[in-house]
Structure 1
């Protein structure tokens, strides 16, 4: 495997961790928007497909107490390099939400923008 693929995997994993810090923060909207491609789609359990410019508004839909996890852990993480400027990360989510187990799967597809930054193209979470 080419060393560049390892760097891409590491970059995407770091970005996904950054996304989860944002998603579980007190005010996730601004940082999630900053991490996103302008046409990004978000698919969360029990919510409509969310976009940056859609109705309902992404920032309002992910406002606190969104993802108020007491604890979360990403397991079975797999990064798939699509090409030198795109990749997908998949994982299982084990979390505690208001004292109860919350188990799901997640994936995010990232693309590298012209400024060299990785941006979210689509993020999906499925409650199991």
Structure 2
């Protein structure tokens, strides 16, 4: 039987993959907002921080072709349980669009909301 920490690790890894599916979709803002805590902060290379405090800037910052990739792969994935209500996933990401490649390290932190759902708190990427 999986331990509580094993279930948390599996849940936040699944949510991180859902986030990347949303990030690379044709219309990222709606699914990302659905995954997010109201105080979410997204930190991408060469961009100002995105928050839901300014939804117009949030939507503008995430609109295609931003992160519109043909495919992505997460490697060296580590899940860290902070406590029973929070955790972080760190990884390397490799994504491609045509013959262009995007390589970065990433860190995505989740907290469990009152409804029991995991919500995105902070997402950060650093080019490598």
User: Counterparts of 1:49 and 1:17 in 2: how far apart (Å)?
Assistant: 21
Shift of 1:97: 3.4
Cα deviation, residue 71, structure 1? 2.2
2:33 is matched with 33
Equivalent residue number for residue 14 of structure 1 = 14
* Alpha-carbon separation, structure 2, partners of 1:55 and 1:19: 18
Q: In structure 2, what is the equivalent of residue 50 of structure 1?
A: 50
Unaligned runs of 5+ in 2: none
In 1: Cα distance, 2:97 partner to 2:61 partner: 17
Name the structure 2 match of 1:117.
117
Count how many residue pairs are aligned between Structure 1 and Structure 2: 127
Matches within 5 A, 1:56-75: 57-75=57-75
Structure 1's unaligned 5+ residue stretches are none
Distance (Å, rounded) in 2 between the aligned partners of 1:55 and 1:40: 11
Q: TM-score, normalised by structure 2?
A: 0.94
Decide whether the 8 Å contact of 1:91 with 1:106 is kept in 2: yes
Name 1:85's counterpart in structure 2: 85
RMSD over aligned CA atoms reads 1.4
- The structure where helix makes up a greater share of residues is 2
| Distance in 1 separating the partners of 2:105 and 2:4 | 27
CA contact (8 A) 1:68 1:98 kept: no
